[in-house]
Amino acid sequence: MKRTLLISVLIFAAMTALAQQRLVYQSYMLGSDSGDTTFREVLRYKNQLKINDIQEFEGELIQGLSTDYTFVDYDVDSAYFQMNYRNGESYFYAYSLKTNDIEFEEVGSEKVKGYNCKKYKTSINSNTIEVWMTESLGYDASPVTSRGYLKGVMVRQAINGNRIMDLKSVKKDKKDKKDKKGIIPEDLGIRKTGKELNQIKKEKLIIRTKIFEDDQIHFVKMDKFHGDIPFDTVIHFSWGTIILKRVNLPVLPEHYQIFAELHQRSNGDAYDRSGSVFVIPMDRKLSLCNALIDSIEVIPYQLDKNGNKYQGIRLEDDYMPVVELMRFFTPFGVNHFNDRVQLDGLEWADEAYYKMEVSELSDRLQGDVLIGAFIGNYDGGGHKVSLDLVAYPQDYDGDVLKNSRWSLPLFNTCNVMEMSGQNYGRLFQTDSLTVEFDIPEGVENLRLRYITTGHGGWGGGDEFNPKENTIIIDGEKVFRYTPWRCDCATYRELNPVSGNFWNGVSSSDLSRSGWCPGTATNPVYFDLSDLKPGHHTITVAIPQGEDEGGSFSHWMVSGVLVGSF
């Protein structure tokens, strides 16, 4: 009788080993009330596995999303991670199950979910990992292959005692008897290393739009451009100190994070210069584009109490100022002058690199867009720049209609047309800057995105003296902010021809009013969520310093209202 029972058990185990099974695992946080769980499926046939996450999506998916599988062949101690794309491309990475540096210690036995299990334990990067394996099913199967091989079927995994993956169900699955092949495809695609595969996966998901590539910004006499701005052509304006390009940008769901990514190096100019990356909005009758093609005189201007003109600096009924994506400052001669001075302990950088998130301005970065870059300089060699807009998804939802962001540019005193006569922001010495604007019904989460830097490069100038900026809304002082950077010495390796003083300090080390040579200036955000729809005024007041001889102070301030519907 016992012999008959033993034979029956062996026959059952043999049949089970040959059948195809579908194992489903559930992952969750122990004690969490969120109900957020994920599922992973393991399809097993003979000594092969096909593993994939079970994901249910409704609607359109983002571009660049891959369908991923992990295949295991226990007969040859191999695993294969495969990525499949909608355009038919497939890539894979092969690795051994037993070739790894992770050792599990058997620490006892327990009954889990009705299975008699051996318990194993290890530690990876300060994380305690416990695994329960059962051999009662007569075959090997695990939803996790990256940590090597343990005999049997995984019933439970616990990471730090609270991140749990449980075996939820085991079912027999029908398989065509005529199909004598395994479940691993004969053609897995193009073989790559694990590092290469990870890079492909990231690059496919990222939407990178090249705006400028090694383009020169310099001071040079050139013929004036006339006509409409063509697409995908870099055009120089204002004696070569502005480059402009008309591009067609993709419309993205709101969850994308968008960054402006800029590379800059000297091509002959040795000095720290003000720079700006901006969008020219075309919402009103006039824009900076009219000034670039025609004349600075065609756009609205403000007069200060001394009768000085400040062209195109604020929102008007028929004009909208440029939207500043990034304010940056070139270092002293990086790359071009790297061989001029050698200092012990310092290796000069090859370029300056700036990266700024601009997600809140995404409504200005879709469709037909005019993007420009400016560096104020008087050098024939000037500077070389490359600019990308880089978008990273934060969700799988590809519905482009789900973008409710809204923005309204209010003011910008960064005189990007400096070489064509646009005045510096010197008006704060005698005046404040006041703008009238309207908030439409339904706008929420309203904030002011404010960028401010002070200039005047001598001891008494506003570059080196902290000055409080006051923001006045509808006649009431609501915000005070003093821009100041104390960390400029951090960027010494970007400044090969910065002046060095007798006491060992470099001029690029000096603290400044909101900027350092070789850095971008971060926007600050003022909460305006209590502001009601309708007509309002905003005023910027700064105690700008007095002129000294031929030197003067000025302030570059830009402000954009951002919110959502």
In this prediction the pTM is: 0.88
Question: Of the CATH numbers 3.30.230.10, 3.40.50.410, 2.60.120.1570, 3.30.390.30, which one belongs to the domain with range 206-564?
Answer: 2.60.120.1570
Instruction: Kindly report the three-state secondary structure assignment for every residue of 278-343.
Output: EECCCCCCECHHHHHHCCHHHCCEEECCCCCEEECCECECCECCCEEEEEEECCCCCCCCCCCCCC
Phi, psi of 359 (to 5 degrees): -55, -35
Q: Which tens digit of pLDDT belongs to each residue from 402-443? A: 789 999 999 999 999 999 999 999 999 999 999 999 999 999
**pLDDT for position 559:** 98
Cβ neighbourhood burial of 82 (10 Å; 0-12, 13-18, 19+)? buried
pLDDT band at 387 (very low <50, low <70, confident <90, very high): very high
Q: If you average pLDDT over residues 530-537, what whole number do you get?
A: 96
pLDDT band at 254 (very low <50, low <70, confident <90, very high): very high
Domain boundaries, the chain: 2-201, 206-564
Do 154 and 113 contact (CB within 8 A), yes or no? no
**pLDDT for position 6:** 42
User: Between the CA of residue 354 and those of 243, 282, 385, 389, 455, what are the distances in Å?
Assistant: 18, 27, 11, 12, 21
pLDDT band at 13 (very low <50, low <70, confident <90, very high): very low
Say how many C-beta atoms besides its own lie within 10 A of residue 165's C-beta: 21
Dihedral sign for Cα 193, 195, 196, 197, please.
positive
Does residue 446 have a pLDDT over 50?
yes
pLDDT band at 1 (very low <50, low <70, confident <90, very high): very low
**pLDDT for position 176:** 53
Q: Which tens digit of pLDDT belongs to each residue from 164-196? A: 999 999 998 765 554 557 899 999 999 999 999
pLDDT band at 12 (very low <50, low <70, confident <90, very high): very low
Which spans in 150-308 are helix H? 194-205, 288-293
The percent of residues above 70 in pLDDT, for the chain, comes to: 95
Question: Of the CATH numbers 3.30.950, 1.10.8, 1.25.40, 2.50.20, which one belongs to the domain with range 2-201?
Answer: 2.50.20
Do 150 and 131 contact (CB within 8 A), yes or no? yes
Does residue 351 have a pLDDT over 90?
yes
Q: If you average pLDDT over residues 450-474, what whole number do you get?
A: 97
The percent of residues above 90 in pLDDT, for the chain, comes to: 86
By C-alpha distance, which of 261, 281, 521, 280 is closest to 391?
261
Q: Which tens digit of pLDDT belongs to each residue from 104-129? A: 999 999 999 999 999 999 999 999 99
Mean pLDDT, the chain, as a whole number?
93
Q: If you average pLDDT over residues 282-309, what whole number do you get?
A: 96
**pLDDT for position 9:** 42
Q: What does the block give as tokens for 448?
A: 């002011």
The 10 Å CB-count burial string (b at 16+, else e) for 505-522 is ebbbbbebbbbbbbbbbe
Which residues make beta-bridge pairs with 524?
A: 450
Q: If you average pLDDT over residues 526-552, what whole number do you get?
A: 96
Q: What does the block give as tokens for 221?
A: 């006499």
**pLDDT for position 100:** 67
Give the separation between CA 220 and CA 243, rounded to whole angstroms: 13
